[in-house]
Amino acid sequence: MPFLTGMGMAASMIVALGPQNAYLIKHGLMRHGAVLRIAAIYVAIDVVLIAIGALGVGALIAQATDLRFYFSIVAALFFLGYGLMNIANAFRKRNRNFDADAGASRYSTAILISVANPGVLFDTVVLIGGLAGQYDEISDRMIFSAGAATASLLWFATLAFLSFYVGYYVASDRVWRVLDFVIGVLMIVLAGVIYSSIQEPAVGAIQHLFLALI
């Protein structure tokens, strides 16, 4: 059934600690009302990106191996930068209430780590959207996409509520420092995993770029 297939495929990709989930968890632990609005932003962006992929864009990108390679490079750099930023926060003295009242910038940040995140774009447009595009009937594509969107809604809503509840017990500055440090390390490890998977093709790409410049 396309709906369950789409839901399972999306769930296998979004249930992982990435910049989106980390940012949502941090707001939930702050017990800030913005956590639900951030979750809604994530779901809305996922729906749009999955729809774009289902219309055929995902299948076209999936066939372009060079584009997928550069996607991976940018994704590795993105995760590396985000990881280093979190580790720096772990050693920075801060006020929890100030962080929680970051103003409208928290929503722009939520949008940025979604639409400017190569990992999110690749998962939604290329992988999920590309699989939806394999169905000949447009109705089946819509059902598959609806299943994927449902998985996104359930995951982010659950994560928002759980982190908000757990936040009642998280108050010490030491906990926040540990959280930032752990998230930072995980992001750097993820960047390393992505880099190791593209290390050999990277040599050829660099040589090609060098020859083009000369």
pLDDT per position as a tens digit, 86-119: 888 888 765 554 454 455 678 888 888 888 777 7
At residue 213 the predicted structure's pLDDT band, cuts being 50, 70 and 90, is: very low
The alpha carbon torsion through 31, 42, 68, 116 (nearest 10 deg) reads -70
What mean pLDDT, rounded, does the chain reach? 77
Q: How far apart are CA 45 and CA 120, in angstroms?
A: 10
Mean pLDDT, residues 149-161:
92
Is it the case that residue 40 has pLDDT exceeding 90? yes
Tokens encoding 210: 């060098």
Mean pLDDT, residues 148-162:
92
Domain span at 81:
2-213
Q: How far apart are CA 186 and CA 192, in angstroms?
A: 10
pLDDT for the residue numbered 42: 94
Which helix (H) or strand (E) segment is 145 a member of? helix 138-166
Domain total of the chain = 1
pLDDT tens string 178-189: 878 888 888 888
Nearest to 16 by CA among 79, 58, 67: 79
Please identify which residue in the block is written with the tokens 């992988």.
127
Tokens encoding 195: 């880099």
Q: How far apart are CA 47 and CA 132, in angstroms?
A: 13
Q: How many other β-carbons are positioned within 10 Å of the β-carbon of residue 171?
A: 12
